[in-house]
Amino acid sequence: MAAPDIFTYLNYRTFLKDWFDARKEDNPRYSHRVFMRQARLKSPSALNNVIRQRQQLTERTARAFSDAMKLTEEQRQFFLLLVRLDRAELPDEKHTASEAIRVILRRRSAQHLQGDLLELLNRWYYPAVIELLRCEGAQADPDWIASKLWPPITPTQAKEALDALVELGLAEQLPDGRVLPNQESLATPPIVQGQSAYSYHHQMLELASKTLRETDRDPDFLPPDRYWFGGLTIAVPRSLMGRLRGEIIEIQNRLMGVLDDSSTPGAQVYQCLLYYFPLSAPTATEGDEQSTR
């Protein structure tokens, strides 16, 4: 029996029951006791108590439950939000959790880049053209598009991008000549493997570097309030590595939600980069408790 899709639930207790029932059907020997052992929690009755609303999950036990269910990072974040919504007592707390849930669901409904669409990532200006077409006063004119993007592209490249977007169904050309994007949001999954995705991020890092060089060379290149470059160099406990990645994904989801909800036309196309990667090798072996403190 297939595991239930957590993104179709707004009650985490119902999801837990359906998840356990599916697991039990696949393996009749699976039990609440086995689940709690996999969650590394002591009480063998906790799962049953939570499902029957006799007990609440805390942030810690919710993470332990998600580990036992082997949820992906995106699923884990959604599960934690459902738990926060259930525990929320104040209206503001309920609103915050509900809004974060709505943003994730909206993002998941956005068109995901698959198959041939991943080829868009090989040319940084294809996604930029899509967003430029959303801006106020946008023109489906290759000369106009070429003049607005930075770094500059040629009118030939702009025409190529417009034709490709229409051909791939990401934009529609109207009888009056206008080209309009078909989707509210265009997104890649949190983890996209393959040369196209690597190429895209490589290009964006180069563009970020170029922007820094230009800003350093000419202070008037960009007003200070039009850009932000920030970064952290931090020692991360192994136990928090997954959470750190999840927090970054959540920030990205919130930003998408804020922009999707805006009724004001865009004025300029921006690139927002959220990265984290190691600058050192692990200093302790896997399982060494000292490495998680």
Mean pLDDT, residues 204-208 taken together: 93
Measured CA to CA, the distance from residue 73 to residue 247 in angstroms comes to 10
Q: Determine how many CB atoms are found less than 10 A away from the CB of residue 44.
A: 14
How does residue 7 score in pLDDT terms, banded at 50, 70 and 90? very high
Helix (H) or strand (E) holding 46: helix 46-51
- What pLDDT is attached to residue 293? 34
pTM summary value: 0.67
Q: What pLDDT shows up at residue 289?
A: 42
Spatial distance between the Cα atoms of 137 and 69, rounded to a whole number of angstroms? 49
Mean pLDDT, to the nearest integer, of 127-149?
Answer: 94
The full set of domain ranges for the chain reads: 6-109, 115-261
CA triple 219-221-223, angle to 5 deg? 75
Two tokens at 190? 């949190």
Length of the chain counted residue by residue: 293
Beta-carbon contacts of 77 under 8 Å, excluding residues fewer than 6 positions away, are 104, 246, 249, 250
Looking at the predicted structure, is the pLDDT value of residue 44 above 90?
no
Rounded Cα–Cα distance for residues 39 and 177 (Å): 58
Mark residue 115 as left, alpha or beta (left: phi above 0; alpha: psi -120 to 50; beta: remaining): left
Closest CA to 259 of 185, 193, 151: 185
Q: Of the spans 111-120, 187-196, 216-225, 257-266, which averages the highest pLDDT?
A: 216-225
Q: What is the pLDDT of residue 146?
A: 95
The residues, ordered by sequence, that sit 6+ positions from 95 with a Cβ below 8 Å of its Cβ are none
Structure tokens at 51: 């499902």
β-pair type (186-187, 111-112): parallel
**Mean pLDDT over residues 101-125, rounded?**
76
pLDDT band per the 50, 70, 90 thresholds, residue 99: confident
**Helix (H), strand (E) at residue 181:** strand 179-181
